[in-house]
């Protein structure tokens, strides 16, 4: 389930928006991320071609099974790493920013070890 950081961020954003909105459109993603709608449209085309999202005739975007799996993985990493860094005394805003960077590069093995440590502490 390889993906690049940009794609992972888009998928995670779709997941987060879908938890608070009845449907997600490109404009919602653009507003959330502070990107131009044209940039988001290009990214959505690539995600659709990779089979990570579906876009209906009304422009509503949904995650496919593969897209949801990636989004869930990244979101879990973000939540756990943010929480862990905050527990270590890092300012919550900095912890969230750092978690956003770490979540894309950390290996599964290292994340699983951190997760076990956090859950057992």
The domain that holds 107 is classified in CATH as 1.10.60.10
pLDDT for 3 equals 55
Same domain, 15 and 63: yes
Taking the C-alpha atoms of residue 63 and residue 30, their distance in angstroms, rounded to an integer, is 17
If asked whether residues 59 and 98 sit together in one domain, one would say no
Within this chain, do residues 9 and 64 fall inside the same structural domain, yes or no?
yes
Do 11 and 63 reside in the same domain of the chain?
A: yes
- 61 forms beta bridges with 24, 55
Nearest to 51 by CA among 39, 40, 67: 67
Does residue 41 share a domain with residue 10? yes
45 shares its domain with 60? yes
Considering the entire predicted model, what is its pTM? Answer: 0.89
From first to last of the 121 residues of the chain, give the pLDDT tens digit: 445 899 999 999 999 999 999 999 999 999 999 999 999 999 999 999 999 999 999 999 999 999 999 999 999 999 999 999 999 999 999 999 999 999 999 999 999 999 999 889 8
CA distances to 44, 76, 100, 111 from 39, rounded to whole Å, are: 9, 26, 20, 31
Q: Do 85 and 111 belong to one domain?
A: yes
Q: What is the DSSP letter of 22?
A: S
The 8-class DSSP code of residue 63 comes to: E
Provide the domain limits for residue 98.
72-120
State how many domains the chain has.
2
């Amino acid at each position: 389930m390889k993906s690049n950081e940009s794609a992972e961020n888009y998928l995670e954003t779709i997941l987060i928006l879908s938890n608070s909105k009845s449907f997600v459109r490109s404009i919602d993603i653009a507003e959330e991320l502070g990107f131009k709608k044209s940039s988001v449209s290009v990214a959505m085309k690539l995600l659709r071609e990779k089979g990570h999202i579906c876009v209906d005739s009304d422009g509503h975007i949904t995650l496919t099974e593969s897209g949801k799996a990636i989004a869930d993985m990244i979101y879990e990493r973000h939540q756990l790493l943010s929480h862990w860094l905050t527990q270590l005394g890092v300012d919550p805003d900095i912890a969230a920013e750092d978690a956003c960077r770490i979540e894309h590069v950390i290996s599964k093995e290292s994340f699983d070890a951190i997760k076990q440590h956090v859950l057992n502490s």
